[in-house]
Structure 1
Amino acid sequence: MKSALFLMTLLSAGISIAAGRQPTDLSRPNVVVIYGDDVGFADIGVNGAEMIPTPNIDRLAAEGINFSDGHSSAATCTPSRFSMLTGIHAFRYNARVLPPDAPLLIPLDKLTLPQLFSRAGYQTAVIGKWHLGIGTPGKKVNWNGDVKPGPIEIGFDYSFLLPSTNDRVPCVFLKNHRVLNLDPADPLYVGKTLADVQVPGSTPYPDGQTNREAMTYYQSTHGHDNSVINGIGRIGYQSGGKAALWNDETISDVFVDEMKAYIADHKDAPFFLYFASQDVHVPRAPNPRFKGATKLGYRGDAMVQFDWTVGQILQTLEEHGLSENTIVIFSSDNGPVYDDGYDDGTTLKTSIGENDRGHDASGKWSGGKYQIYEGGTRVPLIIKWPARIKPGTSDATVNQIDFMASFAELLGVELDDDEGIDSRNTLDAFMGRDSEGLEYMIEEATGLALRNGDWKYIEPQKVKYPKGLAPFDATLFNLKDDPAETKNLADQYPEKVEEMSKLLEKMKQHNGIRAIL
């Protein structure tokens, strides 16, 4: 009788006891961040892609909020990942795209997003591309022993990684602290030069600088001609680890299998999963089952593969009864790039400029990866949480750097003044309750820009960008009237330039944006 009453109580409370479904606790939803690599704003159907089918991402957008003004903090991968995970702008640490043997970039004494979730009782994991460095400054990493410090030391309970990125050595998977499938008889070495890794007893790989014929998958165009592994030239040199090598065409499958296993093992308690895909970063090597899925070559086909990956994540959540109370965030580390070191057939030169066979991955926005124009940081950003978020679209200005303070608000975790110093609580915007979002926001590339509504001020640059802008000119654009950033209004609105330049300088010099805005 007591058992029957208890069952009736559960049912009347709306709590499912079906196998694999956790009781609904809206204060502690699961969180999955799906992070694309070099995916542009218009690389997905819902944002205008006509030549790339992305039904799973489009479905995610239909079931959540699709942001038209969502941003990574920077126009390159290492800085944007650093900022998302720390809530601190990367320029404060002079963070740049890291070489293969770089030490851990994130300071061990800084709060990270996984540590924030750990404070709230979550299990945390990262699966995918890392590219935030591993090891201690000044010390050579021992790839044949415990490889650390890395994700585990900055708060993740579990990690399964590409240690750097897929165009850099070492071309192996790292599970927690150990290289997966490493044969002790074939020790792994990584270095900047061929001489660094010429160790007797370790498998040698061709040097692309002296043996271009070894690059059989496709040729490099610039900067990817060191060790040739799987017929693809890489940045940096590697010897050994032959049994541990990844297969470029099955990386996505391996990550998906890891994701499925992790969710199955952690379905009964709240978890935070940072899933960082290598798609559509170079070298683009989609699985053969996706080749020919578009008319855009390797890049378009890799985007279809990424869409499949998103579908697998959504399906896995559904299979375990977790969809209703899981926050799924889809975004990218920066805007798109076409030729980024490999002659993979993506880039065509036409009368209207460089493009991906007619597909403009930035949409109406100018620029892309590496550039301070909007296309560098304005990326897809979709958030789904069926238990709390009403589906729709939002023009609110939002940024990944604000995940830290926003999730702290959601989880009831108080941040100290020195934690996530550039992260602001924009939870209402992320949840669709605020249609404005950030009043001011920094964008980072070779230099910095400041957004204020439709106004965008770019500080004087040390490099010359296209469209006739002089190298050191301060520029002012109105994105509402000029989304392509072609008309410099600095001379017409000198007071706006002065206002925004002074505020940007204050943001740069002050110990954190949250303290002054």
Structure 2
Amino acid sequence: MSSRRTFLAGSTAALGLAATAAHAAPSVTAPQPAAAAGGRLPNLVVVLADDLGYGELGAYGQKLIATPRLDRLAAEGLRFTDAYSTAAVCAPSRGSLLTGLHTGHATVRANPSSGGQGSLTATDTTFAQVLRARGYRTAVIGKWGFGPEAAGQDSHPAARGFEEFYGYIDHSHAHQYYPEYLWHNDVKEPIPANAGGAKAVYAPELLERRALEFIGEHAAEPFLLLLTPNVPHAPSDIPDTSAYADRSWTAANKGHAAQVSWFDALVGKVVDRLRALGLEQDTVLLVTSDNGPHEEGGVNPDLFDANGPLRGYKRNLYEGGVRVPLIAWGPGRVRPGPQAMRGSTPPPPERSPL
């Protein structure tokens, strides 16, 4: 009988990640050596932005915010124009991404702040569990977003297939860019410089460093890295907004633009590390967002045309709330899209009537 585990295993096979019999549900408990007829299994790097709108990248028509690294990846790989999240807020969207379930069947159907179920359960099978069972090293670095904020429980990343975790467990904790601690696996690691509300260490930079270290540490074996920085979620807090200092924008809008550019640079550094280690031919990189752009903390999404030609933002069940950018890149495994071969980007679609 078909099952969700069978479906997830079949999905990995379709990506060239594993040869899985269609009738057999995979084991998700005992890792097995990875093997493939064509040689090494590909690494998977999934970079998930927090509230990045469909129109906030240059490859999707953005004019005011600089995103050169992502624009280049879009030209070298595939730029999807009709990719959708399953929800207009982060927790259910991320739950669906991890499990492959739409929000009618998923455990997490709302953000915990709305009183909804905010935790994954022992019955939730993630793609990390499936890949780990096939010999992949697995890590999630950044915002997890599924409480409770404690070790040794079913909703912790370690229980859902990730052998390494560094970042924020709890949904609301991830709103802090200068936290007094981050979790490393099942231990809280203090950040003493941020004690008492000080703003000395910008947490996204710690996430970046650990992600690059993970790639280097596992360069010789297939790995899954789910990198989930908490930018450009409100508040628009970032150490350096100098790139937009000459704009007559509010501080919140300058901060937001700088956060998007920081995200762009982060992805660029991941690509640079892959290239430096000779892994670009053996890696598939996916970059996307959990939902549409936010309009919080003084940020004006209309200034940036953050939803592109679409209507609505985060929390809205219009196209702008759920259609997201998605870029797939992998020189050895992802064939460039037509726009890359023509050397130009096609115009955005007509504004949605929705």
TM-score category (smaller protein)? 0.7 to 0.9
Residue 388 (structure 1) aligns with: 333
Preserved contact between residue 110 and residue 118 of structure 2 (Cα < 8 Å):
no
In 1, Cα distance between equivalents of 2:262 and 2:246:
11
User: Superposition pairs for residues 47-196 of structure 1, below 5 Å?
Assistant: 47-92=60-105, 93=107, 95-99=109-113, 105-134=119-148, 141=150, 146=151, 148-149=153-154, 150-165=156-171, 166-167=174-175, 172-181=181-190
Q: How does 1:387-466 map to 2 (within 5 A)?
A: 387-393=332-338
- Structure 1 residues 312, 289: CA separation in 2 closer, same or farther (over 3 Å shift)? farther
Does residue 303 (structure 1) correspond to residue 260 (structure 2)? The answer is yes
Structure 1 residue 484: deviation in Å?
A: 2.6
Using a 3 Å threshold, how does the CA distance of structure 1 residues 102 and 248 change in structure 2: closer, same or farther? farther
| Alignment check: 8 A CA contact 1:80 1:333 kept | yes
> Which of 468, 484, 487 is equivalent to 2:352?
484
Q: Residue 365 of structure 1: which of 310, 315, 318 is its match? A: 310
Structure 2 alignment gaps of length 5 or more: 1-35, 248-252, 340-348
Cα distance change on mapping 1:324 and 1:392 into 2, 3 Å: same
**In the superposition, relative to structure 1, how do residues 246 and 62 fare at CA in structure 2: closer, same or farther (>3 Å)?**
farther
**CA distance in 2 between partners of 1:323 and 1:263 (Å):** 12
CA distance in 2, matches of 1:290, 1:100: 36
Aligned-pair CA distance for 1:100 = 11
Q: 1:99 Cα shift? A: 4.0
Do 1:57 and 1:310's aligned partners in 2 also have CA atoms closer than 8 Å?
A: yes
Encode CA deviations 1:139-193: one digit per residue, 9 max, x unaligned. Answer: xx4xxxx46440001110100012224326975310000100279xxxxxxxxxx
Shift of 1:91: 3.5
Q: Percent identity?
A: 30
Question: CA separation in 2, counterparts of 1:255 and 1:122?
Answer: 21
Which string of whole-angstrom CA distances, capped at 9 and with x for unpartnered residues, describes residues 180-207 of structure 1? 0279xxxxxxxxxxxxxxxxxxxxxxxx
Query: Residue 42 of structure 1 contacts residue 360 of structure 1 at CA under 8 Å; is this kept in 2?
Result: yes
Structure 1 43/249 Cα, relative in aligned 2: closer, same or farther at 3 Å? Answer: farther
Task: Select 2:224's aligned residue among 251, 272, 279.
Answer: 272
State the match for 1:312 in structure 2: 269
Whole-angstrom distance in 1 between the partners of 2:271 and 2:159: 29
Please list, as runs of the form range in 1=range in 2, the aligned pairs for 1:241-252 lying within 5 A after superposition: 242=195, 247=199, 250-252=202-204
- How much does 1:24 deviate? 11
Of the two, which has the highest radius of gyration? 1
More helix by share: 2
State the alpha-carbon separation in 2 of the partners of residues 105 and 24 from structure 1: 38
Aligned to 1:509: none
Structure 1 residue 106 displacement after superposition:
1.5
Question: Pairwise mapping of residues 257-268 of structure 1 onto structure 2 (< 5 A)?
Answer: 257-268=209-220
Q: Distance between the aligned counterparts of 2:77 and 2:46, measured in 1?
A: 14
Contact 2:91 2:108 in 1 (8 A): no
- Hey, what does 1:218 align to over in structure 2? none
Change (3 A) 1:290 1:64: farther
Matched, 1:377 2:322: yes
Distance 1:179 1:246, change over 3 A: farther
- Cα distance in 1, alignment partners of residues 90 and 198 from structure 2: 21
Q: Relative to 1, partners in 2 of residues 1:393 and 1:120: Cα closer, same or farther, differing over 3 Å?
A: farther
Question: Following the alignment from structure 2 to structure 1, what is the Cα–Cα distance between the partners of residues 77 and 198?
Answer: 34
Scaled by the length of structure 2, what TM-score is found?
0.77
Counterpart of 2:352 in structure 1: which amino acid? A
Q: Is this contact kept in 1: 2:110–2:117, CA < 8 A?
A: no
- Residue 297 of structure 1: CA displacement? 1.3
Distance between the aligned counterparts of 2:180 and 2:233, measured in 1?
A: 15
Q: 1:323 to 1:94 in 2, by over 3 A?
A: closer
Q: Tell me the secondary structure at the aligned position of residue 324 of structure 1.
A: helix
Instruction: Please provide the CA RMSD for this pair.
Output: 3.1
After superposition, give the CA deviation of every residue in 1:224-272 in whole Å (9 maximum; x if it has no partner): xxxxxx7xxxxxxxxxxx48x8948622211111011111111100000
Q: How many residues align?
A: 301
Secondary structure of residue in 1 paired with 2:181:
coil
**How far did 1:102 drift?**
9.2
Over 3 Å counting, the alpha-carbon distance change for 1:273 and 1:47 in structure 2 is same
TM-score (norm 1): 0.53
